[in-house]
Amino acid sequence: MTEAPTTHAPNSAVQERLSRPERGDRLEVTTDSLAFEGKAVARRHDGYVIFVEGALAEERVLVEIRKAKSNFAEARLVEVIASGPDRRPALCPYFGICGGCALQHLNYEAQLNWKKLQVRDLFERVGKIASPPLRDVLAARDEYHYRNKMEFSFSEERWLLDEEIASGDVQDRFAVGLHVRERFDRVIDTQVCFLPKQVVTDIVNFTRKFARDNELGVYSPGSGRRAPASTPDETSSNASLENSTGLLRFLVVKTSYSTGEIMVNLVTSRDEPTVMEQYTRELIAAIPGITTVVNNVNQRRAQVAVGDFEKVYHGDGTIRDWIGKASFRISANSFFQSNTPQAERLYEIAAEFAELKPDDRVWDLYCGTGTISLFVADKVKSVLGIELVEAAIADARSNAKANGIKNVEFIASDLKKAVTSPPPLEGGGGGWSSPNVLIIDPPRSGMHPDVIREILKLAPERISYISCNPATQARDVALLSEGYELLDLQPVDMFPQTYHIECVAKLRRK
């Protein structure tokens, strides 16, 4: 590795500072491995490390330093001089700019191997567990077109591609698409995406044309103006297309893997029935497979794709999907796993690791809308789902009722309190029997230490721990090791082309 030349005086302080590169320096380096978030690692002879975004293992590359610290630097890839054995051409024209994918340039088998190494490293380094009992990563059935939900943003200051800047024709800056990597204020005008089904791209492209043809403006939170309040039944002339400046916020598309149903949710800054009626009519004519069209109206400054109220313009405002033997009603704002077939396989592993028996009493912690609870219900005596978010509990109860599942109950409660003293059943009916099995699926931050302490007091016989963040999972398993033995680890690839990996841990009481 060579460094940029310098003309500074050769005193000791300067020599110490020059032992690392400077921001803007361009260097040729050789990478040896991939680190967290898919960044390649180049190591200098003195131990100095450079993390290179966009490079892969065993490559000779030209990089530009973006940030330099005392013992490591971060750099962007400028040119691949000699490709590594696992590099492949990326399908997407926005790869390297868009934040949706990080690993399209890495062949899929290598992605799986790298994700396994990441899990192993985290359990050894964070969890202090030597030689963890780690299986090979369970590959996704579909490497592309697997996502059943996509959220696109509108912008009037779209990100310009190099060829657009070179052409000089950049008058129209309207965009609907995905964000630039690490830039939530910049949107790529996304005309193709390989993560969802093709119909999702068709919907995005139709919506872009409709917005341009009707000169619909994009809401900007930086304008300092609150969108005028409107009543849900407003049909007056102020809902005309001419008065829709600052209207568009998000386009959210959901698809059902099992039924093929399609939901389009246009999120706007105010209620505009005339616009929505025309949009719905023309959209369904262009793409007849769409089963429901929803308008969420968000009148707040917060840039979120959830409305203050919702109006349905076609269908019943929901789609349905299946995981295992249970069907789920999915509304515009309800949570559902983004990769349906792989979620079912994830739950199969969780059930296998729990070694479920007909007389088991299962508690499902962080149960969300009840997908795991309902998935295992027919294998056990009873399931209690516990979740803090009351709206999710309402969906879980509705899903249980719709599927005729009667041995499952759900309560909304703080996990720190509920583990040792769950609230009583609605309408009375006594308390809960202590579980002999826990299924745990916490958020990325993992479990609060207080929850772990209460689990150790509760002392169920078996724990099946699902995580979307092996780093916090390794930390939690280490804390649980006071009373539990880690028997198995199964990584599951829910999100190909990204660096994310789910993992299921099997624990048994010592």
The tokens of 383 are what? 């399931």
CB atoms within 10 A of CB 480: 22
CB atoms within 10 A of CB 175: 24
* DSSP letters for 340-378: HHHHHHHHHHHHHHHT--TT-EEEEET-TTSHHHHHHGG
The SS3 call for residue 40 is strand
CA dist 312 and 248 (Å) reads 17
CA dist 338 and 325 (Å) reads 18
CA–CA distances in Å: residue 22 to residues 14, 29, 46, 74, 81: 13, 15, 17, 11, 22
The tokens of 434 are what? 């202590």
The tokens of 10 are what? 């050769």
Outline where 103-161 has alpha helix (H). Answer: 108-125
Task: Please give the backbone phi and psi of residue 373, each rounded to the nearest 5 degrees, phi first.
Answer: -55, -45
- Distance from the first to the final alpha carbon of the chain: 51
Angle between helices 198-213 and 273-286 (to 10 degrees): 140
Task: Please give the backbone phi and psi of residue 272, each rounded to the nearest 5 degrees, phi first.
Answer: -130, 80
Residue 188 has, within 13 A of its CA and on its CB side, a CA count of 22
Residue type, 18: L
* Among 383, 373, 454, 465, residue whose Cα is nearest residue 419: 454
455 Cα distance to chain centroid: 28
Catalytically annotated residue among 98, 101, 193, 468 = 468
* DSSP letters for 4-23: --------HHHHHHTTS--T
**Tokens 């965009």 sit on residue:** 175
Q: Is 468 a catalytic residue?
A: yes
CA dist 381 and 433 (Å) reads 11
**Tokens 């719905």 sit on residue:** 280
CB atoms within 10 A of CB 482: 10
**What one-character DSSP code corresponds to residue 454?**
H
Active site residues: 468
